[in-house]
Amino acid sequence: MDIASSYRLKSHPFRDSNGRTGRLLMNLLLLKAGFPIVTISNEKRQAYIESLVQARISQDDLTGLLNLVCEAAHESLVETLSVVASAADSRGKGLAFYGEMTAFLELKSAETDSI
């Protein structure tokens, strides 16, 4: 996270897309660590910006930013589990698309296991 923070706060050379680039890098690091992709909702945008400003002012205090990212990761995990649970509940209810998707995923999983 320190690398991403330093990149986001110090060295990105472009005037536009700083936030998108920083969040993309943040999500890459989260995925590599086994966490889901997170989104910063519009409701939390101001808190996100304030946490970035605080991190810029005090390079040693990333607490606000880390708390915000952890909360977003938690929300993303809950949402993912909700989707998985509702998909499991849909099994056997005649949803052809769900059946096609689960068959496809099982096939790809078996192919990956055999490699």
- Residues that are catalytic: 12
pLDDT in the model for residue 81: 76
Q: Is the predicted pLDDT of residue 1 greater than 60, yes or no?
A: no
Closest CA to 7 of 94, 18, 45, 92: 18
Amino acid at 64: G
Cβ neighbours of residue 72 closer than 8 Å, sequence gap 6 or more? 38, 39, 40, 41, 44
Domains, the chain = 2-89 (1.10.3290.10)
For 68, phi then psi, to 5°, come to -65, -45
Mean pLDDT of 48-52: 88
- Which two three-digit tokens encode residue 104? 């496809």
pLDDT, position 112: 65
CB-count burial class (<10 Å; 0-12, 13-18, 19+) for 15: exposed
Residue 110: band (very low, low, confident or very high) from pLDDT cuts 50, 70, 90:
confident
d(CA 108, CA 100): 12
Alpha-carbon distance of 112 to 69, in angstroms, equals 31
> How do residues 7-31 score in pLDDT, each as one tens digit?
444 544 555 667 788 888 889 999 9
